[in-house]
Amino acid sequence: MNSIICFTSDFGSGDTWVGMCHAVILRACPQVRIVDLAHDVPPFDIRKAAVVAASGVWQLPDAIHLAVVDPGVGGGRRDLIIVTGSGSILVGPDNGVLIPATWRSGGIAEVFSIVPEHLDFSLPLPTFHARDILAPAAAILACGVQASVIGEPVDPDTMVGPPFAPHRVEGDALVAEVIDVDRFGSFRIAIPAEALHDRVGRGERVEITIGHLLVEAPFGSTFSDVEEGEPVVLIDSSGWLTVAVNLGSAADRYGVEPGVVAHCHLPGR
């Protein structure tokens, strides 16, 4: 069995929603442990939830990852279980929120659409699939039940696409969107750590162009590799390429927000 469920949502902590999902999971699989990865994702922000879920899979590939940011709840979209090429299990709505996590975990191996009647729970309330379908499904999977028992196979090509594209190569540059700004003002670019393997070393200069903006900074391993107030490019704990300012905000300094496209020029090798 998978002993950990990592739970991401936009539910916040001021209502009963997270607690009820916990209760449903523990009732179905009492021995499981629940890690609340993040519940303060801005309402309806599928991009942010996808970033969080992908970061969680990168750090905890053996867990079951339950991601629920679901503006279309009850509106006919499917509830999915994705098994990745590396064996990670992802549970969430078919709105693209799970797709970037598959990029960090060997791609998509199998996809199933959850059949509510196969779950030992009451008929789903249209506004709360997290409690009535997705959380019970994650719990059942955590207790060792195969996805094929509670779901029907889905053609991956019919799934809703991701909220941002994977990185691509253009000439000597890696090109990707800025996908997130964390609470310290560091901004993350959708270039995963594995794409930089052997391409840049500590202290080498990296140039990142975002429109007419040029960010030039050394590649470091931590924020204090540069002086206070200076920029640094690194792989942060989420596993994405990140631009930070030591004891400052890179997003404020450069005026960068999620959704803009960055061209990352690495030293020649």
Residue 127 has pLDDT above 80, yes or no: no
Six-digit token string for 149: 């028992």
Domain boundaries along the sequence of the chain: 4-158, 168-265
The rounded distance, in Å, linking the Cα atoms of 107 and 86 is 8
pLDDT digits (tens, 9 = 90+) for 2-30: 689 999 999 999 999 999 999 999 999 99
Query: What pLDDT shows up at residue 265?
Result: 92
Query: What pLDDT shows up at residue 14?
Result: 92
The rounded distance, in Å, linking the Cα atoms of 117 and 115 is 5
pLDDT digits (tens, 9 = 90+) for 211-264: 999 999 999 999 999 999 999 999 999 999 999 999 999 999 999 999 999 999
What residue has token string 């270039």? 191
Residue 269 has pLDDT above 60, yes or no: no
pTM recorded for the entire structure:
0.92
Specify the amino acid at residue 122: S
The rounded distance, in Å, linking the Cα atoms of 260 and 147 is 37
What would be the CATH architecture of the domain defined by 168-265? Beta Barrel (2.40)
What top-level class would CATH report for the domain 4-158? Answer: alpha beta
pLDDT digits (tens, 9 = 90+) for 53-99: 999 999 999 999 999 998 888 788 899 999 999 999 999 999 999 99
Query: What pLDDT shows up at residue 73?
Result: 80
What residue has token string 């590799």? 225
Six-digit token string for 76: 């006919």
Residue 206 has pLDDT above 90, yes or no: yes
- The SS3 assignment for 144 reads coil
Residue 188 has pLDDT above 70, yes or no: yes
